């Protein structure tokens, strides 16, 4: 027999945004259910040292932070469900979701916090050295490379912005791009070319990341010239893959309004989506900041927006019944 779970607040995703929404929702008496998704804890579960989350003077571990957030959410009354949603219906309330387990979830309001994943090059050496010199977030990890030589891989806005940011920490930043021109906005390109700390290698493809030392970390990147096929290496301490992100929104395509990049559109200054009663928070709607602390902030916003929506809906129901 198929199990069905009903709640005032249904939350999809268990990263900083989803768990913060759960904490606020539980404290507001909405008894939220959090469907944790394919990666419980979000991207921080694969992040080692976290030095920029407020409240901790020392470096903390990403998985530990998410475990604490989940424990806090459960302590105040949120329920965690290990499942992945495969079917959605937001045409009427309560909203109906179906997990790959066959379990049905019903929510008077829905908070989408499914996040986004960084795009990677897909190299074995990249996977082996992630967190050991290879990163996809300069804002998160650039501080660890103060005074060291770093490289950024990519040619769009993300790559140029990451390179410019890294000059705050490094005097030697190399941008590696497989074409002979950037796709980034012209104003960003102008800033990059005017920065003496940045060097650009055109028509170069990353063949592999090279580790070494004790403990093993990134020491160099092997490159292939796209025109001649010639191989070369550059010595670096940090490599930042900046080729974009995939928001986890495919499930909602055709159900909720998305922007051209696939991120959920929200009303400015809120977490309200195109469907009343459905709210989005975290990286699934934020293509600019993508930080744990900003995700948590929008999770708080989503819970407050949801609480107000339900209060207004409940009041309208009372008024209708009184008029009958």
Q: What residues are annotated to the active site? A: 137, 140-141
* DSSP code at position 237: S
- Smallest CA-to-CA distance from 173 within 113, 115, 238, 266 is with 238
Q: What is the spatial distance between Cα 68 and Cα 82, in angstroms, rounded to a whole number?
A: 17
Q: What is the spatial distance between Cα 116 and Cα 244, in angstroms, rounded to a whole number?
A: 10
- Smallest CA-to-CA distance from 256 within 277, 236, 234 is with 277
Q: 3-state class of 232 per DSSP?
A: strand
Q: 3-state class of 240 per DSSP?
A: strand
- Smallest CA-to-CA distance from 202 within 210, 192, 212, 211 is with 192
Q: What is the spatial distance between Cα 223 and Cα 211, in angstroms, rounded to a whole number?
A: 14
Burial classification of residue 255, based on how many CB atoms lie within 10 Å of its CB (0-12 exposed, 13-18 middle, 19 or more buried): middle
Write out the DSSP string of 94-120: SEEEEETTS-EEEEEEEEE---EEE--
Phi and psi at residue 123, to the nearest 5° = -90, 145
Q: 3-state class of 306 per DSSP?
A: helix
* DSSP code at position 17: H
* DSSP code at position 253: B
Q: 3-state class of 244 per DSSP?
A: coil
Query: CA dist 78 to 9, 63, 88, 95, 285, Å?
Result: 10, 19, 21, 18, 23
């Amino acid at each position: 027999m198929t199990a069905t779970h009903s709640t005032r607040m249904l939350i999809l995703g268990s990263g900083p945004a989803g768990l913060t929404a759960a904490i606020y929702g539980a404290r507001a008496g909405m008894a939220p259910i959090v469907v944790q998704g394919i990666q419980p804890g979000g991207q921080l579960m694969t992040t080692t040292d976290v030095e920029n989350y407020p409240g901790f003077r020392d470096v903390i571990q990403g998985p530990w932070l998410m475990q604490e957030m989940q424990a806090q959410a459960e302590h105040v009354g949120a329920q965690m469900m290990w499942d992945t949603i495969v079917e959605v219906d937001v045409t009427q309330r309560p909203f109906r979701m179906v997990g790959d387990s066959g379990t049905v979830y019903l929510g008077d309001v829905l908070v989408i916090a499914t996040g986004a994943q960084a795009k990677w090059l897909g190299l074995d050496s990249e996977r082996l050295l992630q967190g050991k010199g290879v990163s996809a977030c300069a804002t998160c990890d650039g501080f660890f490379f103060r005074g060291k030589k770093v490289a950024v891989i990519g040619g769009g806005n993300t790559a140029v912005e990451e390179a410019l940011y890294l000059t705050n920490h490094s005097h030697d930043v190399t941008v590696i791009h497989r074409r002979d021109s950037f796709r980034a906005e012209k104003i960003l390109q102008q800033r990059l070319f005017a920065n003496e700390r940045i060097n650009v290698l055109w028509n170069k493809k990353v063949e592999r990341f090279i580790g070494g030392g004790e403990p093993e970390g990134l020491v160099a990147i092997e490159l292939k010239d796209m025109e001649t096929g010639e191989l070369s290496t550059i010595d670096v301490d940090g490599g930042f893959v900046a080729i974009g992100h995939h928001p986890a929104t495919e499930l909602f395509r055709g159900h909720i309004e998305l922007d051209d990049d696939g991120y959920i559109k929200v009303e400015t200054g809120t977490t309200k989506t195109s469907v009343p009663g459905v709210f989005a928070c975290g990286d699934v709607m934020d293509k600019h900041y993508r930080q744990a602390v900003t995700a948590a902030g929008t999770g708080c916003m989503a819970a407050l927006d949801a609480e107000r929506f339900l209060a207004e809906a409940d009041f309208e129901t009372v008024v209708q019944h009184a008029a009958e």
